[in-house]
Amino acid sequence: MNPPPVLRRATPADAAVALAWTPGDDDLRRWAGPSTRCPATPESLWADINNADATPFALESPEHGLVGFGQVRFREQTYGHLARIIVSPHHRGLGLGRLLCTTLMREALKLHPAITGYSLYVFPDNPNAIALYRSLGFVDRGMHPTYYCMLMEAPLSA
Ligand SMILES: CC(C)(COP(=O)(O)OP(=O)(O)OC[C@H]1O[C@@H](n2cnc3c(N)ncnc32)[C@H](O)[C@@H]1OP(=O)(O)O)[C@@H](O)C(=O)NCCC(=O)NCCS
C-alpha cells in the first residue's frame, strides 16, 4: 500500500469502525476477546477494551483511512502483550497484519522497556492469525486455563 499506513494512538471512533468490520458476535469476540459483551455497541466495546493497562493503536492509511487496530499491554511485568488485533476485511492479504504486529511490537518496547519478550492470545481455530504469528517468531504455549484461547510467545529478537 503506497503511501504506507502509519500507527497512531486510537480513539473510541477507531474502535467503532473496527466494530463495524465485525457485525457478528463470534467474529467480534475473535479479535476483541471472549468476554466482550454482545451484541456490542461502540460504547460497550470501548468500555470493555479500554483497560488502564492497555494502550490502543490505529493503523491508518493516508489514502484508505483506518485499516487496522490493536493494543499493547504490559503482561506479568515481563511481556509486551499484543491484543485486539484486526485488519479491515477490505485490506487483508496485503501484509498489513504483519505491519501492524511488527509496529505494535516496537511500540511495546518503547512503552515498556523492561519487557523480555512478546505474548498474545489467539483462538486455536484461527489459522490465518496463527500462521501470521508463527511467521513472526511466536510459538504455542498452551491453552488459557479459563478461556478458549491459546497463549503464544516470542523472544525480544522476533
Ligand atoms: C489475522 C489478520 C490480522 C491477518 O491480517 P492480514 O493483513 O490479512 O495479514 P497479512 O497480509 O499481513 O499476512 C501475514 C501472514 O498471515 C498469514 N495469513 C494471512 N491471511 C491468510 C490466509 N487467508 N490464509 C493463510 N495464511 C494467511 C500468512 O502467514 C501471511 O504471510 P504470507 O503472506 O507471507 O503467507 C486478519 O486476517 C484479521 O484481521 N482477521 C480477523 C481478526 C482476527 O482474527 N484477529 C486476530 C486476533 S488474535
Residues 6+ away with beta carbon under 8 Å from 18: 31, 66, 69, 86
Ligand 1 atom at shortest distance from the alpha carbon of 68? 39
Q: Which residues contact ligand 1 via a Cβ below 6 A? A: 30-31, 85-87, 92-98, 122, 126, 128-129, 131-132, 135
Q: If you average pLDDT over every residue of the chain, what do you get?
A: 97
Question: Which pLDDT does position 45 carry in this prediction?
Answer: 98
126-137 pLDDT tens trace: 999 999 999 999
The band of 1, judged by pLDDT with boundaries at 50, 70 and 90, is confident
Sequence spans of domains, the chain = 6-155
User: Top-level CATH class of 6-155?
Assistant: alpha beta
Question: Which pLDDT does position 2 carry in this prediction?
Answer: 86
46-93 pLDDT tens trace: 999 999 899 999 999 999 999 999 999 999 999 999 999 999 999 999
Distance between Cα 115 and ligand 1 center (Å): 25
Residue 47 grid cell: 468500555
Question: Which pLDDT does position 88 carry in this prediction?
Answer: 98
3-state secondary structure 18-48: HHHHCCCHHHHHHHHCCCCCCCCCHHHHHHH
